[in-house]
Amino acid sequence: MNFFDRMYDASITIAGHGITWREIIGNLFGLASAVGGMRRKVWAWPVGIIGNALLFTVFFAVGFTAHGGQVLFGQAGRQVFFILTSIYGWWLWQRTRAGHGRSAPAVQPRWATARERTAYLVFWVVAVVICQWLFRLIGEGWNPPNFYYWADAWIFVGSMVATFAMARGWNDFWLAWLAVDLVGVPELIYFKYYPSATLYAIYAAFVAYGFVVWLRATRQHEQVGEPTGQVVAS
């Protein structure tokens, strides 16, 4: 095994379970990105991209068998979508940087309109049905329990909705993340991805706090009569 192989597969054992440093570090980058998102900072997006790239290799079980080769396609696939959406969010939040002070938040949060909310909820339901069918059709290379397909589809699609809503500056994205975590944490514990499960549990508490922060910012802008939902510089 050469140097790069050793670095790639570097792991520690906790309670008898092998855990790659990629999984630990990827989740720490994810947590840092969440903090940046709550503070409405542009740097949240590139930091998140690094974490997503690391976690993709973890859930796709490439070169590491601590989880018995159990590839979680929904978990892995959503990392790819995170990267694509993060590029969009990075561009969107950065777009008007030159027109505002660098200390200003990157977005003024608002609630999605009734039309926007209806659109993403319908998309969520329809896409979950389609994705669970596709996951079954593709197969996993192992014999997962039946709930896995629905759970992974829910996590995959919900993550799409949440990340897009964050890019648009909708308060709804925090609630979407809570809905994802309610399914994601039990699934990750079941499949013994303990660092990710732990970080997801921390995310859930953090998301609740972040929701309050964004909601407070929304109300403050409404009280002073400022428009919300506009991308500004950071």
So what's the pLDDT on residue 161? 93
Q: Is residue 67 part of a domain?
A: yes
Residue 126: pLDDT over 90? yes
Round the CA-based radius of gyration of the chain to a whole number and report it.
18
Total domains, the chain: 1
Q: Is residue 228 part of a domain?
A: no
Q: DSSP label at 98?
A: G
Structural domain boundaries enclosing 105: 3-223
The answer to whether the CB of 233 falls within 8 A of the CB of 100 is yes
The answer to whether the CB of 27 falls within 8 A of the CB of 45 is no
So what's the pLDDT on residue 200? 79
Tens of pLDDT, residues 13-44: 665 666 778 888 888 898 888 888 888 888 88
Phi, psi of 231 (to 5 degrees): -75, 130
Tens of pLDDT, residues 165-185: 988 889 999 999 999 999 988
Q: Is residue 229 part of a domain?
A: no
Q: Is residue 122 part of a domain?
A: yes
Confidence of residue 64 (pLDDT cuts 50, 70, 90): very low
